């Protein structure tokens, strides 16, 4: 994906919200699934569907583990996901600059 094209994986509104939220974390930082779900006010099924698409594109890393007996899912933006989001936001800036008289 190059500057000038909007990445269709990120461009879907729900996925854009997921990526933008995860981009606020530092590189290597993670967020739990329930925390992201609460922040975005999304159902678990809807969030899972969008995360799967982002994971397939290698933009999001999903780590499933256990804390005691309780399963926990951690989410993080991958370096490729962070770069794709940077390109996406730069493309939007270019579009806005081009639309400004």
pLDDT by residue for the chain (101 residues), tens only, comes to 445 689 999 999 999 999 999 999 998 899 999 999 999 999 999 999 999 999 999 999 999 999 999 999 999 999 999 999 999 999 999 988 886 65
User: Is position 20 within any domain?
Assistant: yes
Total count of domains within the chain: 1
User: Is position 101 within any domain?
Assistant: no
User: Is position 27 within any domain?
Assistant: yes
User: Is position 50 within any domain?
Assistant: yes
Instruction: Give residue 86's domain range.
Output: 8-96
pTM here is 0.89
Whole-number pLDDT of residue 74: 98
For residue 65, give the CATH number of its domain.
1.10.10.10
Token readout for 94 is 């270019």
User: Is position 3 within any domain?
Assistant: no
Whole-number pLDDT of residue 70: 94
Whole-number pLDDT of residue 2: 47
User: Is position 79 within any domain?
Assistant: yes
Token readout for 76 is 């993080």
User: Is position 90 within any domain?
Assistant: yes
CB neighbour class for 6 (10 Å; exposed up to 12, middle 13-18, buried from 19): middle
- Taking 3-state DSSP, the helix, strand and coil percentages for the chain, each rounded to the nearest 5, stand at 55, 20, 25
């Amino acid at each position: 994906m190059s500057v000038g094209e909007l990445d269709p994986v990120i461009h879907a509104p729900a996925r854009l919200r997921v990526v933008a939220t995860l981009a606020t974390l530092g590189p290597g930082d993670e967020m739990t699934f329930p925390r992201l779900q609460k922040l975005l006010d999304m159902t678990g099924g809807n969030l899972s569907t969008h995360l799967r698409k982002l994971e397939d594109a290698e933009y999001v890393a999903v780590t499933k583990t256990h804390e005691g007996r309780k399963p926990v899912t951690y989410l993080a933006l991958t370096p490729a996901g962070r770069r794709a989001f940077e390109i996406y936001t730069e493309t939007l800036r270019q579009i806005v600059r081009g639309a400004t008289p």
